[in-house]
Amino acid sequence: MLHIEHLTKTYGDRPVLENLNLSVSTGEIYGLLGPNGAGKTTTINIICNLLKADSGVVEINGQPVSDKTKALIGIVPQENLLYRSLTCRETLQFFAQIYGVGAAVRSHRIQSCLEAVNLVDRANSTVDTLSGGMQRRLSIALALVHQPKLVILDEPTTGLDIEARYEVWEFIRQLKAQGITTLLTTHLLEEAERLCQRIGILKGGRLMAEGSLEELRQRIPAQEVVVVQTSQENEAILRGQQQGFTPRRYGSDLVFWLPRSMELRELVDCFNGIAIDSISRQPVRLEHIYIEVTQTGKGLGFPLPSALPDPWD
């Protein structure tokens, strides 16, 4: 559905996208992750034909990106761009006309969108009376009113409470059930874990890692992650390395990658003689993969260092 090949974009002498290659299959939810400045917004703008690439190919449903392909895309921007004095139905009516939805099918299409996002009972309520979650659902409805082939969701649940977030997640899953292709950008790694069939991690305009969550997990040389709290960190690091553990720092946490799963008693014995306040075991999660990719600047195909990285010195 979405095919990007050798995409390059430079602002002045600063490269923003460097030889980006990416494909999203029909009906797939693909998560595009990366720190601020990684190139996500530039990529979206090029897909939407709002920005011209320096070189490369972008195709949607087999068609090169142009003004004609805009009709194939529905976008939910990071901020809700809604007219607060309009009702939900009036808002959908306005956007349907902008998208060129014919008068003969417009009313039915609007009703279908209201039903899809569970806002039928609020159809005649003005936007300013809706909760944040309802406004987000209305924004999704606006992106669907012209029946696009590809929906782009830019940080769809930022600022929402947990209940509203779960509601939006459910509607995103419904898009997949309807065969709609979704490109999702998010800083919420749990969101990507729960929703996306495949995930790509951008840094500095390059795709550093890509695959399903399970494929990405397999490329981290660890069966388990252990968080250790201790006042004797240097001693714990040395002992961990002697045991074949790879030390990492995630924020203020001292973390070890374990080459095999271990029982808690066995772990405690590994640090015998060191004052340990707590040890907690975790599965390898997307956050561990993401931090490794974005902080080391290396793709996961490279062998990772077994020695302590420079920031520990």
Give the tens place of pLDDT for each residue, 22-53: 999 999 999 999 998 899 999 999 999 999 99
Mean pLDDT of 213-219: 88
Q: Which two tokens stand for residue 242?
A: 């002697």
Give 310's pLDDT tier (boundaries 50, 70, 90): very low
Residues in Cβ contact with 175 at an 8 Å cutoff, skipping those fewer than 6 apart: 29, 144, 151, 182
pLDDT over 50 at 217, yes or no: yes
Mean pLDDT of 265-290: 92
SS3 78: coil
What are the backbone dihedrals phi and psi of residue 255, each rounded to the nearest 5 degrees, phi first? -125, 145
Domains of the chain with CATH codes: 2-211 (3.40.50.300), 221-312 (3.30.70)
pLDDT over 70 at 200, yes or no: yes
pLDDT over 70 at 130, yes or no: yes
Return the amino acid letter for 243. Q
82 within 8 A of 127, measured Cβ to Cβ = yes
- Distance set, CA 84 to CA 80, 140, 146, 235 (Å): 10, 16, 22, 59
Q: Which residues pair with 7 in a beta bridge?
A: 20
214 within 8 A of 253, measured Cβ to Cβ = no
Higher pLDDT, 242 or 307: 242
Give 117's pLDDT tier (boundaries 50, 70, 90): confident
Mean pLDDT of 79-92: 93
d(CA 63, CA 59): 5
Return the amino acid letter for 279. I
Edge to edge, the sheet with strand 224-230 lists: 246-250, 253-258, 224-230, 276-282
What do you get for the CA distance between the two ends of the chain, in Å? Answer: 47
Could you tell me the pTM of the whole model? 0.85
- Distance set, CA 204 to CA 38, 50, 103, 128, 186 (Å): 5, 21, 45, 39, 17
Q: Which two tokens stand for residue 303?
A: 């062998």
Give 303's pLDDT tier (boundaries 50, 70, 90): very low
H/E stretch holding 68: none
Give 302's pLDDT tier (boundaries 50, 70, 90): very low
Residues in Cβ contact with 139 at an 8 Å cutoff, skipping those fewer than 6 apart: 76, 77, 80, 81, 82
